[in-house]
Amino acid sequence: MYNIANKKGWLCHPFFYSLLGLIIISIAYCEVISVPFYFDDNVTIFSKTVQIIASEIWSPVTRTVADLSFMLQRNFFGDVASGYHIVSVVLHGKVFILAISVLLSQLQGSNRQNPGALLTFTAVLMIALWAMSPINSQAVVYVAQQYVLWCALFSLLSLITLIKAYNGHRRILMTVLTLTFWILAVKSKQTALFLPLIYICYTLIFHKRFSDHMRLLLAGLLLGVTLLIIASIQVPTIDQITRETLAVPRLEYIKAQSVILWSYWELVFWPDPLVLDYGIRENIFSDVQVAIASIAHLFVISGAILVARKLPFLTLAVLSFYILHIVESSFVPIQDFKLEHRMYLPSLFFTIFLSIQIIKLLPKQWLKVVAPTLTVVVLLQGYVVHQRIDAWSEPEQFYQQELQNSYQKFWRTENQLGALYLEKGQYQRAAEIFTKLLQDKTVPNNEAILLNAVAAFSGLERWAIVERLENMIIPHFSQLTAINKSRLLINRAIRFAANGDCDSAIQSYEESKRYSEYTEAHEVRLPGCL
């Protein structure tokens, strides 16, 4: 094990290397300001008002903290995507700094010696390896996933205060802060719900028993979980709380996730290929694949536990990876089976603990070889990230590339490509895509496809088709999101105006204003009426 040298000077200070890392991150992500909104960015940003957020604050399945952040950003940036992207990059940079803080705190000896320059540089590079990994670019560039960035931020703050409590620094206060930051993390994204399991593993591995402040922490966590359960009474059944969609059988989701989790492991070490929307569905994997993947997971977990005494941080790294995947990759059916941004938090904790273990084992003379090697890898990753972001800035090319790389021709990506043609006024190309999707029996009935089809055929002035499509949506009007209610009413207003029915057109247009800011944010013309 390498003992940390007690050297001083600006080259030994983590701030210097952290600043260098932030500069590299900023350069790699500089093109992000030219990236438009994607998928549900608009809905995520513009759908929540103060009243809605306040009414949902006690629900266990809402993301109040991140929603409040979006509401504040909306006041500053409106519908300009670049402002939101800058916030995402800043959050990613802050997570990077906090991760370095955790790593270095665990490398300091009991006498609180300062790390040497080369060791500090190597430690920062290991976290930079995670921060510059292309696998994390989706969480940073995809505005709607500020949820996971806030979650990671508060999760690390919770871990930092836990470590400070163990080190005897104002234990009661740090314990209360640990609990507070955990709640904020959960209210940013539910991925952090099982973070306390990592605390318990940390305690059992390094402290062998629960100290007084740890008992207080666990009591607080128990109280927090109890409050969440009580709050969940407003949701009719436990089954609804623990699923995002009713369309996916729970068992089929679990089986698919056993294979997908293994692919996540692969992406940690070799992040290629990277796809925004994989389009994976149940029954895509054979029982043999599921069995092999399940056995592999058991082998990895068992092996990690067996080496806990000799390699404690390796054990913690592996267990953290699985624990932080519990919510989205186990028993909670989610419409999207595989998304890269789900790896952000698990890979972060895995990288921190694995880096600690590697540095503790690394001979001093190897640092002179490891540090330059990691530098080259980090710079290469930065180039790949830059190239990927450049692809995001060209939506049409990006969607076509996504369709080529998906396991299946996924309807949502095709729908987005059609919506892009709508924005460009290429109504015929858009109508062809939506007609194909509506005729495909494997595509679920989806309000977004129907509304986009309405807009496309309205642009072509094929009003009979538009009316038929509207009649398919109207019976389900109460189930539409606020923005989609507004969109439907605007489209009806345009059709009424085209047919000379100005009274109905104006009435529908005025009614659309009741549901969202969409009407005010988009210029609507009603020929001959308004």
Mean per-residue pLDDT for 360-382?
A: 86
Helices (H) and strands (E) in the chain, counts: 25, 0
- Write down the mean pLDDT value for the chain: 80
Using a 10 angstrom Cβ sphere, with 0-12 exposed, 13-18 middle and 19 or more buried, the burial of residue 242 is middle
Per-residue pLDDT at 129 = 92
Per-position DSSP letters for 422-439, written without gaps between them: HHTT-HHHHHHHHHHHHH
Alpha-carbon radius of gyration of the chain: 25
Per-residue pLDDT at 463 = 85
Per-residue pLDDT at 2 = 37
Helices (H), 29-145: 41-46, 50-56, 64-77, 81-107, 117-131, 137-141
Helices (H), 207-278: 212-231, 238-241, 250-269
Per-residue pLDDT at 3 = 39
Is residue 309 pLDDT above 90, yes or no? no
Mean per-residue pLDDT for 403-428?
A: 79
Q: Which of 10-14, 95-99, 512-516 is predicted least confidently?
A: 10-14
What would the two tokens of residue 276 be? 């925004």
Q: How far apart are CA 259 and CA 280, in angstroms?
A: 11
Per-residue pLDDT at 148 = 94
Is residue 436 pLDDT above 80, yes or no? yes
Q: Name which residue leads in pLDDT, 185 or 411.
A: 185
Which pLDDT band holds residue 416 (cuts at 50, 70, 90)? Answer: confident
475 cis-preceded (ω within 30 degrees of 0)? no
Work out the number of other CB atoms within 10 angstroms of the CB of residue 444.
Answer: 11
Kindly report the CATH number that applies to the domain delimited by 397-514: 1.25.40
Which pLDDT band holds residue 467 (cuts at 50, 70, 90)? Answer: confident
| Type of residue at 218 | L
What would the two tokens of residue 357 be? 């273990």
Per-position DSSP letters for 456-525, written without gaps between them: HHHHTT-HHHHHHHHHHHGGGGGGS-HHHHHHHHHHHHHHHHHTT-HHHHHHHHHHHTTT-THHHHS---
Per-residue pLDDT at 293 = 92
Domain with CATH 1.25.40 in the chain: 397-514
Is residue 456 pLDDT above 50, yes or no? yes
**pLDDT tens digits for range 135-163:** 998 899 988 889 999 999 999 999 999 88
First vs last Cα of the chain: how many Å apart?
77
Per-residue pLDDT at 147 = 93
Tell me if 271 sits within 8 A of 133, measured CB to CB: yes
pLDDT-above-90 percentage for the chain:
19
Q: Which of 99-113, 253-267, 313-327, 465-479 is predicted least confidently?
A: 99-113
Work out the number of other CB atoms within 10 angstroms of the CB of residue 479.
Answer: 10
**pLDDT tens digits for range 187-241:** 999 899 889 888 888 877 776 555 555 565 566 666 666 655 555 445 555 556 6
Angle at which helix 427-439 crosses helix 411-423, to 10 degrees, equals 160
Is residue 525 pLDDT above 50, yes or no? yes
Tell me if 349 sits within 8 A of 320, measured CB to CB: yes
Mean per-residue pLDDT for 47-63?
A: 71
Per-residue pLDDT at 46 = 77
Cα 403 from chain centre = 21
Q: Name which residue leads in pLDDT, 139 or 413.
A: 139
